[in-house]
Amino acid sequence: MNGYLKINAVLPSGPQYKRLTDLMLLPSLVKDGLAAGYALKDHGAYNFATGLYSEMMGSPVQGQHGLKFNQTNYINTGILKPESFTFLVVAQKTPGMGFLMGDFVDKTQAADGKEHGTTMSSRGDVYAGVPGGVGLAFGQQSTNVNGEYVLLVYSATKNSATSYSQEYANLQGGRDIFLSRAIPDLVNITDNSVGVGYSVKSSPLGWVADTDVVYACLYSKGFTKAELETWAAQIRSELMQLKGIQI
Answer whether 113's CB lies under 8 Å from 107's CB. yes
pTM: predicted TM-score of the whole model, two decimal places: 0.90
What pLDDT sits at residue 19?
41
What pLDDT sits at residue 156?
98
Per-residue pLDDT of the chain (247 residues; tens, 9 = 90+): 344 445 455 556 655 555 443 457 999 999 999 999 999 999 999 999 999 999 999 999 999 999 999 999 999 999 999 999 999 999 999 999 999 999 999 999 999 999 999 999 999 999 999 999 999 999 999 999 999 999 999 999 999 999 999 999 999 999 999 999 999 999 999 999 999 999 999 987 788 899 999 999 999 999 999 999 999 999 999 999 999 999 9
Answer whether 246's CB lies under 8 Å from 240's CB. yes
37-243: CATH architecture: Sandwich (2.60)
Q: Measured between alpha carbons, how far apart are the two ends of the chain, in Å?
A: 30
What pLDDT sits at residue 24?
78
All structural domains of the chain with their residue ranges: 37-243
Across 78-107, b (16+ Cβ under 10 Å) vs e yields: ebebbebbbbbbbbbbbeebbbbbbbbbbe
- For 84, residues 6+ apart whose C-beta sits below 8 A from its C-beta are 156, 157, 158, 188, 220, 221, 222
Task: Report helix, strand or coil for 39.
Answer: strand
What pLDDT sits at residue 2?
45
